[in-house]
Structure 1
Amino acid sequence: MGLTSSHWGVYEFVVKNGRLSELNPFSQDPDPSPIGPSIIDLLEDRTRITKPAVRESWLTGGPGTATHKRGSERFITLSWDEAEKIVADELKRVIKTKGNQAIYAGSYGWASAGRFHHAQSQVHRFLNSIGGDT
């Protein structure tokens, strides 16, 4: 058994055959959240995206390629290292050719009561570390 923490508290976990099998409230938590254990179901949900993916035409032709295919062509999965390199290279390219003002830091991502978990704050923090955005 090991310990892990999340937004909802600390949990004791058990891994069997390489998969998370139990996620129980920390035994010393006087008022544990019941939300944590539901994470197990989410890990294997068919709608969960587990790997980065890029549109096939973008991957083969780069930015601006076959934009009319957005939403209809297949996605190619990549390793996290490949995806990180693509993102880093594209940010560098846009900053070099258009400037930081060309980066839109909008996000419709999830949020919570705390600002640390506010999606736009995270995007802005990241982009501010490389010179800013619009």
Structure 2
Amino acid sequence: MQRTADLPLKSTVDEGWKSTASLAVFWVLAVVGLPVMTGAWLLLPLASLEELTEQGKAVAAGTSMAGTTFLYGVLPLVLAHVVGLVLLCSIGGAGRYNRRSGVLLGIAAVAATSIVGLTVTLIISGGQLIATSNYVP
């Protein structure tokens, strides 16, 4: 039987990244996610405004703009979050010694980029994500 002093000292807690390449890929994707997430957030008020302002023309033409906000605003936003989570959580989980910390880091990175994107969008859109019927051109 080996003595405790002869065993290699290896910590079971988070040891960080397995390789520099994993670290680099993770953070490059997280940084690239900033403009992507901001763009996804910006589509929401733009699609909403489009639906509101073009509804009169659509009714006159016998159609409707219903669903434009969902199709061109909500769907891309949800897709950006899902793709970001899948990419960053899988790279983070596979690239770190402690898989759980990698997944949590991926979730935190997506949340941070989403908060930045939402903040930029609120600033640009005057604090309004969904256009209301009070629109005055």
Q: Give TM class, smaller chain.
A: under 0.3
More strand by share: 1
More helix by share: 2
Q: Whose RCO is larger (CA < 8 A, sep 6+)?
A: 2
Give TM-score, length-normalised by structure 2.
Answer: 0.27
Give TM-score, length-normalised by structure 1.
Answer: 0.27
